[in-house]
Amino acid sequence: MASRRNTEPSAGVYPIDTGTCAITRDDDGAGWLVEINGVQSSHIDPDDPRRLDFEYMRWMVAVIEARHDREEALRILHLGAGACSLPRYLIDRFPRSRHVAVDVDAALATLIREQFDLPRAPVLRVRVGDARTVTASLTDDSRDVVIRDVFAGAVTPPHLTTVEFTAEVHRVLRPGGLYLVNCADTRDLAHARAQTATVADRFENVAIIADPAMLKGRRYGNVIIAGSDGPMDSTPALVKQLLAGAVPAGIRAAGQAAEFARAAAPLTDAILAAGQR
């Protein structure tokens, strides 16, 4: 648990490089909601780094915690920084971990650091740049976990959804490392199926995590796609943790994830380029 700050964030609408960032108190008055150009981006409680109000973030950390011990010196790359809610949680949960958070918006990165007093380097480095360009610049086998949570509005930039980009992530990960993708989709699940097929094209094992109603096509929401060349088992402890939140989630691993993506083709740079002509 973090110590209480001497100063509080300031509510308001701030100009950033990509538009505007609105910072407002949440309903209970303890946390803060960050919206980028009118779209909810992050929730952060300055006094409690382990408070994650977005369910998909809880699902992500459940997978990480199921695979790693508290004392491991994890190296984690966050593509999409937002308010750095996930890095703050994981720093508190894994004290020896080191994090790089990437965001394309320099003004947003500065604003979030000023408002929320984030951990400093070397524990947390905030790097400004395009997520694909930064990933391509990193050393082989240098990260234990890569998290993709990048959005322009409500959509992930297409160049971060392809086989070629996923290959760069695979190269950067250490053997057996973990790739976590936050995929937002509509009820038809076409994008989630294609993204699952894309991750499966580069990783030996894939799992998907979501609210069961989402996977039945009853609503839109988030699907977490997890890829690794190591085991992706749905252990009893992980299943229990995923069911424990306010929005219980189910996990489909191995054959179930393959079946989910069976009719979808992996996305490639060439397919995206052809679609833009």
- pLDDT tens string 225-265: 999 999 988 889 899 999 987 888 999 998 899 999 999 99
Tell me: pLDDT of 188 over 70.
Answer: yes
Instruction: Give the number of other CB atoms < 10 A from CB of residue 256.
Output: 15
Distances (CA, A) of 157 to 73, 131, 160: 31, 10, 6
Token duo for residue 196: 């699952």
- pLDDT tens string 58-68: 999 999 999 99
Domains for the chain: give ranges and CATH numbers: 48-275 (3.40.50.150)
CA distance 232 to 240: 16
Distances (CA, A) of 145 to 102, 173, 182: 14, 7, 14
Tell me: pLDDT of 5 over 70.
Answer: no
Tell me: pLDDT of 189 over 60.
Answer: yes
Tell me: pLDDT of 3 over 50.
Answer: no
Nearest to 81 by CA among 103, 63, 66: 103
Q: Convert 37-59 to b/e letters by CB count within 10 Å (16 or more is b).
A: eeeebbbbbbeebebbbbbbbbb
**pLDDT-derived band at 74, boundaries 50, 70, 90:** very high
Express as a percent the part of the chain with pLDDT over 90.
80
The pTM of the full predicted model, rounded to 2 decimals, is: 0.94
